Amino acid sequence: GDSVTQMEGPVTLSEEAFLTINCTYTATGYPSLFWYVQYPGEGLQLLLKATKADDKGSNKGFEATYRKETTSFHLEKGSVQVSDSAVYFCALRHLYSGGGADGLTFGKGTHLIIQP
Amino acid sequence: GAGVSQSPSNKVTEKGKDVELRCDPISGHTALYWYRQSLGQGLEFLIYFQGNSAPDKSGLPSDRFSAERTGGSVSTLTIQRTQQEDSAVYLCASSLRAEETQYFGPGTRLLVL
């Protein structure tokens, strides 16, 4: 079955540091890839997504590129802020050509702590 | 509100009791999903409803778990004869169509004593 692997952390960085959270996946076919974020006390929300190989998703200064050859979707940000402290989840899902989709398959989540 | 809502926000129950968790999706969203978030297993997909089609139950962990969606809107997840390992946060999500972005509710935190 499908699976997603990501570093669990916690990952602790200083403000303005460069961030990389690694994510690799195992899946048949060509899934869509996602990063979700869960801020303290809040619900899960979509951060960015990519639906095909070499696509780059971006939002709020975060970026991730769908790399089919390495089955990876690493999350990066050039300069993190304290407000980026949260748990980040990498996920995938399959879309069907006739419409419809699977549920999301999530990684275990990476707890990111940004210190001022 | 315009978002996905879930009730109750917290539920404490005794082992062996049945519980019902409710999800109100965003108005007009045809797809509805249930997930479970626990310390040991992370985030797991449970069940998916698309319009009036039969649900995809492939993620339900046992036959003690069931879900229904009435009138293509509100959904109820029922856990019968709860066990301590059922303790988790149960998340509901909805999307306009199955292939669109899923929007998550705040979750119901279930504790089985």
pLDDT at residue A99, as a whole number: 65
* Integer Cα distance of A81 and B69 in angstroms: 41
Q: What is the largest CA-CA distance in chain B?
A: 38
Give CA torsion, residues A48, A28, A22, B32, to 10 deg.
Answer: 40
Each residue's pLDDT tens digit, B70-107: 887 899 999 999 999 999 999 999 999 888 889 999 99
Over residues B42-80, the pLDDT tens digits come to 899 999 998 878 888 888 999 999 999 988 789 999 999
For residue A106, the distance in angstroms to the closest alpha carbon of chain B comes to 6
For residue A58, the model assigns a pLDDT of 97
- Report pLDDT for B78: 97
Return the ∠ at Cα A72 (arms to A71 and A78), rounded to 5°. 160
3 state SS of A50: strand
Contact criterion met (CB below 8 Å) for A65 and A75: no
Residues of chain A falling short of pLDDT 70: 97-100
Asked whether the beta carbons of residue B97 and residue A103 sit closer than 8 angstroms, the reply is no
- B positions 63-92 inside 8 Å of A (CB): 91
What distance in Å separates the CA atoms of residue B30 and residue B72, rounded to the nearest whole number? 7
* Percentage of residues in chain B having pLDDT higher than 70: 99
* Mutation for B interface: A104, A108, A110, most B CBs within 10 A: A104
What's the pLDDT score for residue A77?
A: 98
Is some CB atom of chain A closer than 8 A to the CB atom of B9? Answer: no
